[in-house]
Copies of this chain bind each other. A is one copy, B any other.
Amino acid sequence: MDLSMSDVRLARGLAKIREIHGEAGIEVLKSLEAASPELARFTVEFAFGDVYRGGALTTQQQQIATIAALVVLGHAQPQLRVHIRGALNVGCTRAQVMQVIVQMAVYGGFPAALNAAFTAKSLFDELDRES
């Protein structure tokens, strides 16, 4: 993927990644590109360039939906961590993030919620050490 490629969807996707995840998101993307340039391109163009384009949902509502999904999936801890940080970046509070996680105990079960709560706590601690 040529990051300077002049493609509307790609540019829109990269802008959305920067808005939600900041430079950390671009780092994850580069690491994905090393594994599969095609999957990296689809992530930027489709997930961030098309789907997150939205219109009906605010960016905060989008992150709440994504966190809920990642908690319930159970096997997506790296993505959950990235999106919790993204949720905080776009203005969600830690209390809101944790409440989504707690709510998921009802839908995905307690083990999924507990593992997510530990992931969130570990990120919050890291953010506290950074600041």
Contacts and interface: CB of A to CB of B under 8 A. Distances in A.
Interface of A: 31-32, 34-36, 38-39, 42-43, 46-47, 50-52, 54-57, 61-62, 64-76, 78-79, 93, 95-96, 98-115, 117-118, 120-121
Contacts of A114: 32, 39, 43, 78-79
Contacts of A120: 35-36
Given A115-B76, A121-B34, A104 B69 contact: yes
Given A102-B38, A102-B42, A106-B109, A115 B61 contact: no
Contact of A42 (B34, B46, B74): B46
Contacts of A76: 74, 107, 111-112, 115
A85 to B, nearest CB: 15
B103 A56 contact: no
Contact of A111 (B54, B61, B79): B79
A97 to B, nearest CB: 9
Contact of A105 (B51, B54, B73): B51
A10 to B, nearest CB: 13
